[in-house]
Amino acid sequence: MEKTSETEVHHTVPVLAPIQLAFDAFTGHCDAWWPRGYRLGQAERTDLVLEPRLGGRWYERTADGKESDWGRVLVWDPPGHLALSWQIGLAFVPQHHPQRASCVEVTFVEDGPAKTIVTVVHSGFERHGEGWESMRDAVSREGGWPGVLRAYAELVALGGA
């Protein structure tokens, strides 16, 4: 299910896994399911890391040895809730000013013993400044949250994360 409003993008995906596994795959194995071509650095992305704690970094490593921050962990409440700052600028480059970051809220709701409903609400786009609508539109399209979350759900269902 997808819903986009003026200021928020909502996307929900069912994941065929117990809630703890769904949370762990999202947070501990994001490099395995996040599209490889999505990166902030110039070189090929070699890793995408989400540090499992409040205040932890969300960052990429590239083949040239550089690291680029994607954001920070704002809420760490396993296995039900995670919130991240989205410190990615309008041109999909690092945004070094945390006050210019939008927010990605992720909830995990158990739907039986082996199914979890995962919902992403991406909000606060106006913090990106003039032209913020382009970011909202980009993450709401197939190449944004819909496709990214589908890749996540497929990998978890196949036991790859």
Write out pLDDT tens, residues 84-113.
999 999 989 999 899 999 999 999 999 998
Cβ burial, residue 118 (10 Å; 0-12/13-18/19+):
buried
| Predicted confidence pLDDT, tens digits, the chain (161 residues) | 566 678 899 999 999 999 999 999 999 999 999 999 999 989 999 999 999 999 999 999 999 999 999 999 999 999 999 999 999 999 899 998 999 999 999 999 999 989 999 999 999 999 999 999 999 999 999 999 999 999 999 999 888 66
Fill in the amino acid letter for 140.
Answer: S
Write down how long the chain is: 161
Nearest 10 degrees: CA dihedral of 22, 24, 29, 34? 40
What SS3 state is found at 28? helix
- State how far the Cα of 81 lies from the Cα of 161, in Å rounded to an integer: 19
H or E element: which one contains 125?
A: none
Count Cα neighbours of 102 within 13 Å in the Cβ-side half-sphere.
24
Q: Which domains does the chain have, with CATH numbers?
A: 2-36+73-157 (3.30.530.20)
